[in-house]
Amino acid sequence: QKEVEQDPGPLSVPEGAIVSLNCTYSNSAFQYFMWYRQYSRKGPELLMYTYSSGNKEDGRFTAQVDKSSKYISLFIRDSQPSDSATYLCAMSGGFGNEKLTFGTGTRLTIIP
Amino acid sequence: KAGVTQTPRYLIKTRGQQVTLSCSPISGHRSVSWYQQTPGQGLQFLFEYFSETQRNKGNFPGRFSGRQFSNSRSEMNVSTLELGDSALYLCASSQNPKTEAFFGQGTRLTVV
């Protein structure tokens, strides 16, 4: 079983819809939680990160972390065709563990 | 501020050969991490360097090695290439790799 599980999709939604992307994880040492967006033939781009449990909002994007359930989410409001990409969750642990553990990514398409 | 630069962008090598990939981090970033991305396994951590020292290492065979220079630039070497080494190799630079990693566009390696 992988440390981080992410539904690979693909996920297609109409423009303007709210998108919900999710990851679950098994390693309770994870403390930092990140979402990346990756366009085709590009490197991943950091969208936002959250430390421990809670919510964080940045424009149309909201990240939620529930450490008790080992579950993180990314919500995209008023989705745009330019949001079409692969979304990757990533996590890292405590002191001395600087590596990021990634989910496999969810491919999202926003239909105009 | 210039982003992370990886060279070359594309490489085609033959089985048994070796290859060296290069990464120039964002100015001021002392941490450089390397990841392998494949359709089946997603993004997997190779190693992380900080101030010329390898600080973390992933579960890859010894054929994969790296180094970091005093100007924080990093190189990754793969010896005795196998077909399964075909992948996108991504370099990420950070001030704090636990919370933010800025990726380059990657080097697409094809082993034939």
Give the model confidence (pLDDT) of B41-90 as tens digits. Answer: 899 999 999 999 999 899 999 999 999 999 999 999 999 999 999 999 99
| % residues pLDDT > 70 (chain A) | 96
Of B22, B109, B58, the residue nearest A102 (C-alpha): B58
Contact check, Cβ <8 Å, B103/A100: no
Cβ contact (<8 Å) for A99 and B97?
yes
Measured in angstroms, the CA of A96 and the nearest CA of chain B are apart by 8
- Of A89, A105, A100, A104, the C-alpha closest to A34 is A89
Average pLDDT, chain A: 92
- For residue A104, list chain B residues with Cβ-Cβ distance below 8 A: 41-42
Nearest CA in chain B to A97: B56
Pick the residue of A100, A104, A106 with the most B CBs within 10 A to test the interface with B by mutation: A100
CA atoms within 13 A on the CB side of B68: 23
Model confidence pLDDT, tens digit, residues A30-69: 999 999 999 998 999 999 989 888 899 999 999 999 999 9
pLDDT of residue A94: 66
Span B7-26, pLDDT tens digits: 999 999 999 999 999 999 99
pLDDT at B1: 65
Inter-chain CB proximity B90 and A44 less than 8 Å: yes
CB contact under 8 A, B4 and A43: yes
Tokens coding A37:
């967006």
Q: What is the pLDDT of residue B16?
A: 98
> In this structure, what token pair is assigned to residue A23?
């990851």
How many Cα atoms sit within 13 Å of B8 on the Cβ side? 8
Residues 6+ apart with CB under 8 A from B109: B11, B13, B19, B21, B78, B85, B86, B87, B88, B89
Instruction: Tell whether B101 lies on the interface with A, counting CB pairs under 8 A.
Output: yes
B96 pLDDT higher than 80: no
Res. A96: pLDDT tops 70: no
pLDDT digits (tens, 9 = 90+) for A74-89: 999 999 999 999 999 9
Residue B28 has pLDDT above 80, yes or no: yes
Q: Say how far residue B79 (Cα) sits from the centre of its chain.
A: 14
Give percent of chain B above pLDDT 90: 87
Mutate to test the interface with A, among B33, B43, B45 (most CBs of A within 10 A): B43
List, in sequence order, every residue forming a beta bridge with B108; answer none if it has no partner: B10, B88
Question: Are the C-beta atoms of A105 and A38 separated by less than 8 Å?
Answer: yes
- Give A-chain residues touching B38 at CB under 8 angstroms: none
Residue A2's pLDDT is what?
A: 85
Beta-bridge partner residues of A86: A38, A107
**Among candidates A35, A37, A98, which has minimal Cα distance to B33?**
A98
Sequence-distant (6+) residues with CB within 8 A of B62 are none
Q: How far is A61 from chain B (nearest CA, A)?
A: 17
Q: Are B77 and B20 in contact (CB under 8 A)?
A: yes
Tell the burial category of B103 from Cβ atoms under 10 Å away from its Cβ (0-12, 13-18, 19+): buried
